[in-house]
């Protein structure tokens, strides 16, 4: 038996007996309109929420905020991008993209967070390497709090999951707030229900 095998055998032998996990109760909701709570929580983390009547409005918003020449990489068929995206796209090739567009699976009212998996991102780097992230969120896809989140089956159905709350920021350096230090410089959530049969990401 090798040293590694001997070590692992000792670890297995020292495992405690299996026991049933305790039931964790749900805390009472603070109440209030979920969208209003989400918007306020996101604003506190440096993100913004806007309304859109259609995907065309989203593209117009991107052009207004980031310029008509901005490079756009979209992970949803609803909003066309200027750069193609597929499951085999090299993550590093997105390093010069100005705006990423992705549809969140749901939002968390308590924290203003949006939830993504590899299915939503198509290429995980899209959520972190671009300059600005525009997130489409169905107002009907809201949950109350983080404790509700972990009761959903989503975590058991994906290989990768991320809760994103606002843009990247740090104030560790001389107490100065810096946006985009480790990720996107801005995050905009667009309230927009998905049209029928257009909510599948490219390459799905």
Nearest to 131 by CA among 48, 72, 47: 72
Q: Domain count for the chain, please give it.
A: 1
Residue 28 is assigned to a structural domain of this protein: no
Residue 201 is assigned to a structural domain of this protein: no
Could you give the C-alpha distances from 68 to 2, 158, 176, in angstroms and in order? 63, 35, 31
Could you give the C-alpha distances from 128 to 76, 101, 114, 187, 196, in angstroms and in order? 17, 12, 14, 11, 28
Residue 196 is assigned to a structural domain of this protein: no
Ramachandran angles phi, psi of 136, nearest 5°: -90, 130
Note the pLDDT of residue 199. Answer: 47
Is the model's pLDDT at 198 over the cut of 60?
no
Could you give the C-alpha distances from 171 to 49, 62, 82, in angstroms and in order? 23, 28, 34
Cβ pair 171, 178 in contact under 8 A: yes
Residue 4 is assigned to a structural domain of this protein: no
Residue 108 is assigned to a structural domain of this protein: yes
Could you give the C-alpha distances from 100 to 30, 71, 135, 157, in angstroms and in order? 33, 9, 8, 24
Q: Which residues contact 172 (CB under 8 A, 6 or more apart)?
A: none
Range of the domain at 137: 33-191
More confident site: 60 or 177? 60
What are the tens digits of pLDDT across the range 123-177?
999 999 999 999 999 999 999 998 888 888 888 889 999 999 988 877 776 777 6
> Rg of the Cα trace of the chain?
20
Tracing tokens 């100005």 back to the chain, one arrives at 98
Note the pLDDT of residue 100. Answer: 97
Residue 115 is assigned to a structural domain of this protein: yes
Q: What is the CATH number of the domain that holds 82?
A: 3.40.50.10420
pLDDT band at 55 (very low <50, low <70, confident <90, very high): very high
pLDDT band at 28 (very low <50, low <70, confident <90, very high): confident
Tracing tokens 């509700």 back to the chain, one arrives at 148
Residue 8 is assigned to a structural domain of this protein: no
Q: What is the DSSP pairing of strand 161-164 with strand 113-117?
A: antiparallel
Residue 10 is assigned to a structural domain of this protein: no
pLDDT band at 197 (very low <50, low <70, confident <90, very high): low
Nearest to 163 by CA among 152, 173, 171: 152
């Amino acid at each position: 038996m090798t040293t590694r095998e001997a070590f692992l055998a000792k670890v297995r032998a020292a495992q405690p007996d299996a026991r049933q996990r305790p039931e964790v109760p749900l805390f009472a909701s603070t109440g209030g309109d979920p969208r209003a709570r989400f918007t306020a929580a996101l604003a506190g983390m440096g993100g913004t929420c806007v309304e859109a009547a259609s995907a065309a409005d989203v593209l117009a918003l991107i052009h207004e905020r980031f310029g008509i020449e901005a490079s756009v990489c979209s992970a949803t068929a609803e909003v066309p991008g200027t750069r193609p995206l597929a499951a085999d796209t090299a993550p590093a090739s997105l390093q010069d993209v100005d705006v990423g567009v992705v549809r969140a699976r749901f939002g968390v009212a308590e924290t203003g967070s949006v939830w993504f998996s590899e299915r939503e991102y198509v290429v995980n780097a899209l959520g972190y390497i671009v300059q600005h992230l525009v997130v489409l969120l169905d107002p009907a896809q809201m949950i109350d709090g983080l404790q509700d989140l972990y009761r959903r089956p989503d975590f058991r159905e994906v290989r990768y999951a991320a809760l994103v709350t606002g843009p990247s920021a740090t104030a560790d350096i001389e107490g100065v707030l810096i946006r985009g230090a480790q990720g996107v410089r801005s995050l905009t959530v667009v309230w927009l229900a998905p049209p029928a049969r257009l909510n599948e990401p490219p390459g799905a």
